[in-house]
Amino acid sequence: MIRVSNLVKSFGDLRAVDDLSFAVGPGEIFGLLGPNGAGKTTTISVLSTLLPADAGSASVCGHDVAAEPGAVRRRIGVVPQELALYEELTAEQNLATFGQLYGLSGPRLKSRVGELLELAELAEHARRPVKGFSGGMKRRLNIMLGLVHAPDILFLDEPTVGIDAQARSRILDLIRSMNARGLTVLYTTHYLEEAEHLCDRIGVIDHGRLAALGDKEELIRQIGEHDVVRVQVPAAALAPAAAAAAAWPDVTFADLRRGKLEIHCRDGAALLPRLQAELSAGGLGLDQLEVIRPNLESLYLKITGRALRE
Ligand SMILES: Nc1ncnc2c1ncn2[C@@H]1O[C@H](COP(=O)(O)OP(=O)(O)OP(=O)(O)O)[C@@H](O)[C@H]1O
Ligand SMILES: [Mg+2]
């Protein structure tokens, strides 16, 4: 549905998008995750034909964005990072106005507007001017404006910025339900937990470059993060157990930490039978065992080398 190949976009001396490549398949929710200024919006602008690329290429639904911008635009919906609503108009009027821009009219327009208001859980507020809406309601309506013409792909640029946790989770549910109806989604965010919970695959982007790409497990493998297994063993057995474990394949670290045996390895779960066998051979049981999987947060910090920039 989306193919990006060695894309470059500069503003003066600044390479906002720097040799970026990725692809998104039908029905996927693909997350472009990166800190402020990473190049997320610039990428969306090129894909949605608003900005020309300097080098490389991109296609959407098989149409090259530079050669066939009209064909691309008919297939995509774009939800911009900044709210783009008519504050004085009602929710219904906002949707109808956008629908007319896309050539809808009469009963088709009316039924589409009604359907989208229902989806966004805004039907009971349909006739209220948008200026009285909460931040979450405005964000939901903003998303619906990108869907009026029933696109195949929706570009969502940080659609949950500035709203509370409850409003955010309603928006994520809304995106999931639209995805379940077949919509392909390109989602940008700097919220790790959103990308982790919502997206099938994630591209981590920083300084315009792709730092990592894949589902969560693939990202973990690419970055070489390890599981941490911690187990309580009697004091006398700690040192020999650590020495034995250090020699196992796949183990990168085995030593005593805070009175426990700590083992770092790629696959903690796969290590457990061996650990159990080893300990029970010495007459010991597995006690107070924990396996800590790496999370995306630690990966993200490792990839971008810093906390989120403002
Ligand atoms: N029209 C422009 N003119 C000059 N520089 C720009 C322009 N648009 C973006 N930039 C710069 O390009 C870089 C990437 O910006 P972009 O908006 O794509 O980042 P982003 O990942 O969307 O960030 P944010 O999370 O803050 O929205 C930034 O350094 C930004 O200042
Ligand atoms: Mg942006």
- 138-175 pLDDT tens trace: 999 999 999 999 999 999 999 998 888 888 998 999 99
CA 293 to centroid of chain Cα atoms: 19
Strands (E), the chain: 2-11, 14-24, 29-33, 55-60, 63-64, 76-79, 153-157, 184-189, 201-206, 209-214, 227-232, 251-257, 260-265, 287-292
Top-level class of domain 2-221: alpha beta
Q: Is the CB of 246 under 6 A from ligand 1?
A: no
> Model confidence at 76, in pLDDT bands (50, 70, 90)?
very high
- What is the model's pTM? 0.81
Domain boundaries, the chain: 2-221, 226-293
Q: With 50 as the cut, is the pLDDT of residue 308 above it?
A: no
Q: Is the CB of 11 under 6 A from ligand 1?
A: yes
Of 115, 170, 109, whose CA–CA distance to 139 is shortest?
170
Residue nearest to atom 6 of ligand 1 (CA): 11
Closest ligand to Cα 43: 1
CATH topology match: 2-221 vs 226-293: no
CB 223 within 8 A of CB 211: no
Give 34 Cα–ligand 2 centroid separation in angstroms: 9
Q: 21 is written with which tokens?
A: 């490549």
Q: Is the CB of 209 under 6 A from ligand 1?
A: no
Top-level class of domain 226-293: alpha beta
Radius of gyration of the chain (CA): 25
pLDDT above 70 covers a percentage of the chain that reads 95
Q: Is the CB of 243 under 6 A from ligand 1?
A: no
Q: With 60 as the cut, is the pLDDT of residue 3 above it?
A: yes
Give 153 Cα–ligand 1 centroid separation in angstroms: 23
CB-neighbour burial class of residue 307 (10 A; exposed 0-12, middle 13-18, buried 19+): exposed
> Model confidence at 310, in pLDDT bands (50, 70, 90)?
very low
Q: With 50 as the cut, is the pLDDT of residue 307 above it?
A: no
Cα angle 12-13-18, degrees, rounded to a multiple of 5:
105
